[in-house]
């Protein structure tokens, strides 16, 4: 057991005030933990546009008492539809109303800043200490905790430090020392008033992803249907050639020249003053170093194809707080649970789950961007899938596991080689289960 921290000092310091950091801070504060969040920016906020939050996340929001607020700010779409970006043919779909019935909670889309704001307000109500302009540059192990050093030379200590400082995490660099991995793909985003796109052949009530050779395009409504979110992703020839500053607007335009009319009409609306080079890291097995724990993108930054990046960070915090609460029940009065035991339980379940998501996201990216005959084979498998087949979503959309024995079984991949060629332009599959359901989750 661990003695309570000094009055006025936090039990936990969370480094990073993004969705993962605030979600973790709130989850712990609900259990009576004194939490301090350090954000390097001058104010708490998020940059970006839309997020998709699947039932494994809305289930947690419901437990937190935040789902109604999320519903009021987001959109609950009717379907998720995958189309071929070249000819616009529908390949497969998920009925999201039926999906909600299956998993008990909705599939939602929401503006990233709105979800961040929900957690920020929840942290304020819960008494979390929120500090801005606090750049952490160093970490140090202590006998019963950890110490962080800030850019101004000051230090802070706590029994536990959670590093939720993103893809380019200082803690990850110091404790693991690995490098980010470039996918050579880049994402452009835009959220525009619905009136600007109504004549573009869009589907306002669906999440639509057009998958094409070395590119894809995502569309869905935001903020009660008043806004429309678009994401354009493509492989950068400049990145493949090893050039700096890759992913420029001229590459954006060239990448989508051969796509269908709906996609081509959307490309001019993309924000052109910013873009996101798509990177991840290799999965690692050790997230806990003494009393310093990696969380969110600092531990498992994924490519965006599964739409699980923010969700995994929220799940991390929920699992960490859940094990704290479980062990608190047996802790003697006046003491805190053993943080080492809490961290061991957290790491035991989250590492494998997030490894699966990272590696599956890479596979979906390859699947979406196929060209030539492999594209046609993929389409044949997608077309064979039944709308109400959930073989490829049960492992990810079900309840978040708190222990390894609760982790759902992975799906069985369907190889492209299972598709046979009938004639010059036709492919067929004997299978009816397809590969498409989980692949429909989009950035």
Active site amino acids: 220
Distance CA 301, CA 437 (A): 22
Please choose, from the candidates 82, 117, 138, 28, the residue with its C-alpha nearest in 3D space to the C-alpha of residue 438.
82
DSSP state of 207: E
Q: Is the dihedral of CA 39, 44, 50, 51 positive or negative?
A: positive
Q: Are 156 and 147 in contact (CB under 8 A)?
A: yes
Return the DSSP state at 405.
G
Specify the long-range contacts of residues 147-153, CB closer than 8 Å, at least 24 apart. Answer: 148/13, 148/15, 148/38, 150/38
Q: Are 228 and 75 in contact (CB under 8 A)?
A: no
Contact 332, 75 (CB under 8 A): no
Q: Give the DSSP letter string of 151-204.
A: TTS-EEEESEEEE---TT-HHHHHHT----EEEEEEEEEEEEEGGGTTTTT--T
Burial label, 7 (beta-carbon count in 10 A; 0-12, 13-18, 19+)? exposed
8 A C-beta contact, residue 161 and residue 287? no
Q: How far apart are CA 283 and CA 301, in angstroms?
A: 9
In this structure, the strands spanning 288-289 and 292-294 are antiparallel
Distance CA 26, CA 15 (A): 14
β-sheet bridge partners, residue 129: 36
- DSSP E strand stretches across 236-282: 276-280
């Amino acid at each position: 057991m661990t003695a309570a921290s000094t009055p006025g000092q936090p039990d936990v310091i969370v480094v990073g005030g993004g969705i993962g950091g605030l979600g973790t801070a709130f989850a712990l504060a609900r259990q009576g933990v004194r939490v301090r969040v350090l954000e390097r920016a001058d104010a708490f906020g998020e940059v970006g546009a839309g997020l998709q939050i699947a039932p494994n996340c809305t289930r947690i929001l419901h437990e937190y008492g935040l789902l109604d607020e999320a519903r009021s700010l987001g959109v609950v779409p009717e379907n998720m539809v995958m189309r071929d970006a070249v000819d616009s043919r529908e390949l497969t779909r998920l009925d999201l109303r039926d999906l909600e019935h299956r998993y008990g909670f909705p599939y939602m889309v929401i503006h990233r800043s709105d979800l961040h704001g929900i957690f920020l307000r929840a942290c304020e109500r819960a008494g979390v200490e929120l500090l801005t302009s606090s750049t952490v540059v160093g970490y140090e192990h202590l006998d019963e905790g950890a110490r962080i050093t800030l850019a101004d030379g000051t230090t802070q200590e706590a029994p536990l430090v959670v590093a939720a400082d993103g893809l380019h995490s200082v803690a990850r660099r110091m404790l693991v020392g690995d490098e980010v991995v470039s996918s050579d793909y880049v994402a452009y985003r835009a959220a525009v008033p619905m009136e600007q796109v109504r004549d573009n052949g869009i589907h306002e009530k669906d999440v639509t992803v057009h998958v094409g050779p070395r590119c894809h395009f995502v569309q869905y409504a935001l903020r009660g249907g008043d806004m429309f979110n678009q994401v354009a992703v493509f492989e950068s020839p400049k990145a493949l050639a090893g050039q700096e500053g890759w992913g420029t607007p001229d590459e954006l335009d060239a990448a989508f020249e051969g796509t269908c009319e709906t996609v081509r009409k959307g490309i001019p609306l993309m924000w052109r003053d910013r873009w996101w080079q798509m990177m991840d890291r290799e999965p690692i097995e050790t997230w806990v170093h003494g009393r310093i724990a990696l969380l969110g993108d600092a531990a498992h930054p994924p490519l965006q194809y599964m739409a699980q990046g923010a969700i995994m960070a929220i799940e991390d915090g929920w699992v960490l707080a859940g094990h704290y609460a479980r062990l608190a029940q047996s802790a003697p009065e006046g003491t805190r649970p053993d943080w080492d035991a809490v961290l061991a339980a957290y790491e035991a379940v989250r590492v494998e789950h997030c490894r699966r998501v990272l590696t599956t996201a890479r596979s979906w990216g390859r699947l979406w961007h196929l060209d030539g005959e492999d594209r046609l084979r993929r389409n044949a498998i997608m077309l064979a899938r039944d709308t109400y087949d959930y073989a490829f979503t049960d492992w990810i959309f079900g309840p978040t596991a708190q222990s390894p024995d609760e982790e759902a079984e992975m799906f069985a991949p369907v190889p492209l080689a299972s598709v046979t060629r009938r004639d010059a332009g036709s492919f067929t599959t004997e299978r009816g289960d397809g590969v498409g359901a989980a692949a429909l989750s989009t950035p």
